[in-house]
Amino acid sequence: MSKEPQSVAEGDDAPKPEPIRFYGTTWVDRSGLYPVRRFALGLAAVSLAVVGVVLLRLVYEGLYIANSATWLTTLLVLAFAICSAVAFNRTWASYKRPVPADEHAFRSIKAIGFVGVLLAYGIRSGLEAPGEQLRRSVYEQELSQYRRRTSKRTGNPSRRTAKGGRRRR
């Protein structure tokens, strides 16, 4: 799908970056039409959010035409608004820090609040690939640990001096 980034070519046992959906590992060195892909996916997500809002508006008008109770339409609008806000907040936060263990419990809220999820994805795509910040920090930490483990020692350790300036025996 995508080539391995050049910065990883340090060794066979060097840590590999974790791929991001739709981006692969191009987020590491931002190659392979990365900016165009980011722009297109962000625009698509915002466009889908607008389509979702239009569909929700049609549902609301359908309830109005059907002469549904006022409390029912109000409850429906509040449910979609609250679920969208919660879904936006949780989606946005998941791009910055690891996903909490209870995330599976919020699947239904994210499904109802799909507009919030799409808006969070679209806005985040304007800044970076969604999840890139979190994966970049993990990858850089693993890479620095790898470099520390594999770096060569310099000098003879028996010739090092003690803190007082005298040679150790």
DSSP per-residue string spanning 72-131: HHHHHHHHHHHHHHHHHHHHHHHTTSPPPGGGGGGHHHHHHTHHHHHHHHHHHHHHSSTT
Determine the pLDDT at residue 2. Answer: 44
Determine the pLDDT at residue 150. Answer: 83
Interatomic CA distance for residues 80 and 8, integer angstroms: 44
> Digits of tens for pLDDT over the chain (169 positions)?
444 444 445 667 888 888 888 888 888 888 888 899 999 999 999 999 999 999 999 999 999 899 989 999 999 999 999 999 999 999 999 888 877 778 888 899 999 999 999 999 999 999 888 988 889 999 999 999 888 888 876 667 677 666 655 655 5
Q: Give pairs for 14-20: CB < 8 Å, separation 24+.
A: 14/143, 14/146, 15/139, 15/142, 15/143, 15/146, 17/135, 17/139, 18/135, 18/138, 18/139, 20/129, 20/130, 20/131, 20/132, 20/135
Beta bridge partners of 24: 20
Determine the pLDDT at residue 65. Answer: 93
Determine the pLDDT at residue 147. Answer: 87
Q: What is the dihedral of CA 82, 105, 115, 92, to 10 degrees?
A: 90
Are 101 and 114 within 8 A, CB to CB?
A: no
